[in-house]
Structure 1
Amino acid sequence: MLVRRWVPGVLGLVLLALSGLVLVLASRNRRLSSEYQELRQLSTLPHRGTVVPTFRAVTLDGRPVIIGERADSTARQVLFVFNTRCPFCLATIPAWQRLSDSLGRAGVEVLAISLDPGDSTRRYVSQHDLRYSVLTFPQPKLKRLYRAVAVPQTVVLDWGGTVLYARTGTLDSASLDSVYAAVKHRTDP
Structure 2
Amino acid sequence: MPSHRRVLLIAALAALAGAAASLLFEPRIAYRLASTEVGQEALQATLEARAPPLPAGVIVARRGERVPALALPDLDGAAIQLPAAWAGRTTLVNFWATWCAPCLKEMPDLQAYSAQQGATGVRVVGIALDAPEAVRPFLLQHAITYPILTDSPGPADAGVRLGNRAGVLPFSALIDADGRLIKTKIGPFEDEAAIAAWASAPH
Superposition TM-score, scaled by structure 1 size: 0.66
Q: Which residue of 1 aligns with 2:44?
A: 41
SS in 2 for 1:39: helix
Q: Which residue of 2 aligns with 1:144?
A: 160
Structure 2, unaligned runs of 5 or more: 21-32, 49-59
Q: Would you say how many aligned residue pairs link Structure 1 and Structure 2?
A: 169
Cα distance per residue 1:76-119 (max 9 Å; x no partner): 22212111012222221221112222334216543111111222
Change (3 A) 1:106 1:21: same
CA contact (8 A) 1:84 1:116 kept: yes
Letter paired with 1:23? A
Distance 1:171 1:47 in 2: 26
Q: Measure how far apart 1:122 and its partner are.
A: 2.5
Residue of 104, 119, 133 corresponding to 1:105? 119
SS in 2 for 1:56: strand
Q: Measure how far apart 1:130 and its partner are.
A: 1.9
Q: Which has the larger radius of gyration?
A: 1
Change (3 A) 1:39 1:19: same
Verify: 1:115 aligned to 2:129, yes or no: yes
Verify: 1:67 aligned to 2:60, yes or no: no
Letter paired with 1:134? I
Superposition TM-score, scaled by structure 2 size: 0.62
Change (3 A) 1:98 1:50: same
Cα distance per residue 1:127-160 (max 9 Å; x no partner): 3232122111257312322307222233220122
SS in 1 for 2:99: coil
> Percent identity among equivalent residues?
22
Q: Measure how far apart 1:70 and its partner are.
A: 5.8
SS in 1 for 2:130: coil
CA RMSD of aligned residues (A): 3.9
Structure 1, unaligned runs of 5 or more: 1-11
Greater relative contact order structure (CA < 8 Å, 6+ sep): 1
Residue of 185, 189, 200 corresponding to 1:166? 185
Distance 1:155 1:174 in 2: 17
